[in-house]
């Protein structure tokens, strides 16, 4: 019996995994913002989400990376649970692209003919293009592809000596469930289904296992890949856990369906399509059973999401404090309670956004009663809805138009606060990209937005602790400062255009972020101006602190 070269196999696996990791990192660096934008903007419906999941995973070569990104978006409330599930279903289909690359190119031609030149040229590129981030990352991508195929070649040569002396498929005590379990364990341990499938294709090519057993390992790999997103959901919000559970449920459903239909699918691929290559056959099997699972699963996404919400309900903290215990039919008391509640909404919203922007505040007054994980965008939206519901239950004031104006003024302030919160939250990913940029102007722009938010946070704290008309002059000065900050930012972008330090597209992107940020800041200040000096000039002492 031939002997396997264990160290060569491990070296090949390590190089393959390193190639996968490097390829993911370099693609993110080259077009990371584009992928984030693709997932964030092109998932408006479940079918668009499915397509986005397929395309982004096929390009990024990592279903785990896409799923974790989706988990972050759904946790932030940017993406609905239904559309998030659709993206992850699509990512399962997109990840089969790796198997096709390996099957089509990994065993058809002499790998050294292109793997080593890729590594060599990529290595030279990292030295020659040190001043260009884009070319540096493209060089790293070339190295990654070279390592990917070189690692595959090492694994292939390490097991070839076993082809004549060992055939796991002939062992009588090992059923298909054993091979499914192998796929689960290998993928969970390596955190990469692509590596498991590469091992399967290598074993098939060498004759170490047969087609049916290889297909069973691939089924297991689909289940094992869910461990990454389960780890990513630990400590997250309820909706993040719902999304992670949906990924596990879909992969288990697809695996069970594929396992039940395995004899039929094997017959179709082997006999119906007369596919002579087991390597290509397993790649096709990987795609077929994921597509089949998606076809069965997609029509029921809405019902499934509702079921998840019942199984794992989102127990949000009740954020309203004043209106819940005040009778709306007693107008004077209702007006004071409503106004104080909107001030409370303002305070929670601005400090929530400040936390999201990672604005440092060691004495965060929210922390005493509202830990970070309990004040969510969904909770703030619910609070706004409760404020509107309370407003609608206050009797009409046809006989007292001045008080009716006060009431409408408070409601407009609540709407403006919610709109500003939504807008500032929508710019969060863009500001994070600016802060992480190697371009000094981008990084400085990101810090400028955080500084402006820090100033807003300070002004809101002062108004919340003492909301009387004496704050009006300071608020008008602050509004003027917002306008000056807007003009200063636009002027700095104009200088960059004149100096040709930035492209027109980059400056346009910055100006759009600034426009949304400035508009939100204006809305918040105007809301504060509308709230100060009204009935109930100060909050109860224990509430204002």
The answer to whether 134 touches 103, Cβ cutoff 8 Å, is no
What is the Cα–Cα distance from 473 to 67, expressed in whole angstroms?
49
What is the Cα–Cα distance from 147 to 23, expressed in whole angstroms?
9
268 DSSP 8-state letter? I
Domain ranges across the chain: 6-311, 323-544
DSSP assignment of 504-544 equals HHHHHHHHHHHHHHHHHHHHHHHHHHHHTTSSS-S--HHHH
In 3D, which of 351, 347, 417 has the Cα closest to residue 381?
A: 417
Long-range contacts of 399-407 (CB under 8 A, 24+ apart): 403/331, 403/335, 406/335, 406/339, 406/534, 406/535, 407/335, 407/338
In 3D, which of 403, 345, 370, 375 has the Cα closest to residue 527?
A: 345
C-alpha dist (Å) from residue 144 to 25, 59, 101, 133: 10, 14, 14, 16
Residue 433: which H helix or E strand, with range? helix 428-436
Task: Give the number of C-alpha atoms closer than 13 A to the C-alpha of residue 489, restricted to the C-beta side.
Answer: 27
> In the numeric block, which tokens belong to residue 81?
């649970």
Phi, psi at 526, each rounded to 5°: -65, -35
Q: What is the pLDDT of residue 533?
A: 65
Q: What is the pLDDT of residue 76?
A: 47
Instruction: Name every residue whose Cβ is closer than 8 Å to that of residue 155 and which is 6 or more positions away in sequence.
Output: 8, 9, 12, 13, 16, 198, 199, 202
The answer to whether 88 touches 70, Cβ cutoff 8 Å, is yes
* Model confidence, pTM: 0.51
> In the numeric block, which tokens belong to residue 196?
């498991």
3 state SS of 263:
helix
Q: What is the pLDDT of residue 126?
A: 83
Three-class secondary structure assignment of 34-87: HHHHHHHHCCCCHHHHHHHHHHHHHHHCCHHHHHHHHHHHHHCCCCCHHHHHHH
Geometric angle at alpha carbon 460, from 457 and 462, rounded to 5°: 115
Outline where 466-503 has alpha helix (H). 472-498
Instruction: Name every residue whose Cβ is closer than 8 Å to that of residue 267 and which is 6 or more positions away in sequence.
Output: none
The answer to whether 42 touches 201, Cβ cutoff 8 Å, is no
Mind listing the pLDDT tens digit of every residue in the chain (545 residues)?
A: 445 567 777 787 788 667 766 765 675 565 555 555 555 565 567 788 888 888 777 765 566 667 766 765 665 455 677 888 888 888 888 877 777 776 666 555 555 566 788 888 888 888 887 777 777 877 887 888 788 667 766 766 665 554 444 444 454 456 778 888 888 887 776 656 766 777 777 777 777 777 788 888 888 888 887 876 776 666 666 777 788 888 888 889 888 988 888 888 888 887 777 766 677 787 888 888 888 888 988 888 888 888 887 777 665 566 888 887 677 877 777 888 888 899 999 989 988 888 888 786 655 555 555 655 567 787 888 889 889 988 888 876 554 566 677 788 899 999 999 999 999 988 888 888 888 888 889 989 999 999 999 899 889 988 888 888 888 899 999 999 999 999 999 999 998 888 888 888 888 989 999 999 999 999 999 999 988 866 544 444 334 33
Q: What is the pLDDT of residue 412?
A: 92
Question: Domain spanning 323-544: which CATH class is it, in words?
Answer: mainly alpha
What is the Cα–Cα distance from 247 to 305, expressed in whole angstroms?
11
């Amino acid at each position: 019996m031939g002997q396997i070269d264990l160290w060569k196999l491990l070296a090949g696996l390590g190089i393959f995994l390193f190639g996968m990791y490097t390829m993911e990192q370099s693609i993110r660096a080259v077009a990371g913002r584009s992928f984030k934008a693709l997932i964030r903007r092109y998932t408006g419906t479940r079918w668009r989400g499915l397509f986005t999941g397929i395309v982004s995973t096929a390009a990024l070569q990592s279903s785990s990376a896409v799923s974790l990104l989706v988990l972050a978006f759904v946790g932030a409330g940017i993406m609905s649970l239904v559309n998030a599930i659709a993206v992850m279903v699509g990512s399962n289909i997109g990840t089969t692209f790796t198997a096709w690359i390996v099957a089509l190119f990994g065993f058809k031609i002499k790998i050294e003919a292109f793997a080593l030149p890729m590594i060599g040229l990529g290595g030279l590129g990292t030295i020659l293009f040190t001043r260009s981030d884009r070319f540096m990352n493209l060089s790293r991508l070339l190295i990654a592809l070279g390592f990917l195929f070189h690692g595959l070649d090492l694994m292939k040569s390490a097991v070839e000596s076993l082809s004549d002396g060992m055939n796991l498929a002939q062992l009588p005590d090992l059923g298909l469930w054993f091979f499914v379990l192998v796929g689960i364990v290998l993928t969970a341990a390596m955190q990469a289904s692509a590596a498991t499938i590469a091992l399967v294709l290598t074993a098939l090519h060498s004759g170490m296992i047969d087609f049916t057993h290889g297909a069973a390992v691939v089924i297991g790999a689909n289940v094992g890949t869910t461990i990454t997103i389960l780890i990513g959901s630990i400590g997250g919000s309820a909706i993040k856990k719902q999304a992670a559970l949906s990924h596990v449920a879909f992969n288990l459903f697809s695996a069970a369906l594929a396992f039940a239909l395995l004899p039929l699918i094997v017959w179709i691929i082997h006999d119906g399509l007369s596919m002579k290559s087991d390597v290509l056959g397993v790649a096709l099997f990987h795609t077929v059973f994921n597509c089949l699972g998606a076809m069965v699963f997609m029509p029921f996404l809405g019902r499934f999401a509702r079921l998840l919400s019942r199984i794992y309900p989102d127990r949000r903290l009740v954020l309203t404090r004043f209106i819940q215990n005040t009778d709306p039919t007693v107008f004077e008391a209702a007006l004071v309670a409503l106004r104080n509640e909107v001030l409370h909404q303002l305070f929670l919203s601005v400090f929530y956004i400040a936390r999201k922007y990672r604005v440092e505040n060691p004495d965060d007054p929210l922390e005493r009663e509202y830990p970070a994980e309990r004040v969510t965008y969904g909770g703030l939206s619910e609070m706004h809805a409760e404020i509107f519901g309370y407003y609608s239950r206050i009797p009409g004031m046809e006989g007292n138009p001045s008080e009716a104006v006060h009431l409408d003024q408070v409601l407009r302030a609540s709407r403006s606060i919610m709109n500003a919160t939504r807008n500032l939250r929508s710019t969060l990913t863009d500001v994070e990209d600016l802060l992480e940029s190697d371009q000094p102007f981008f990084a400085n722009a990101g810090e400028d937005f955080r500084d402006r938010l820090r100033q807003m946070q300070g002004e809101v704290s002062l108004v919340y602790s003492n909301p009387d008309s004496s704050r009006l002059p300071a608020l008008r000065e602050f509004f003027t400062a917002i306008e000056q900050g807007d003009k200063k930012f636009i002027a700095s972008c104009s200088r960059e255009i004149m100096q040709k330090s930035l492209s027109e597209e980059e400056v346009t992107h910055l100006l759009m972020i600034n426009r949304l940020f400035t508009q939100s800041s204006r809305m918040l200040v105007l809301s504060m101006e509308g709230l100060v000096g009204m009935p109930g000039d100060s909050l109860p002492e224990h509430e204002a602190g």
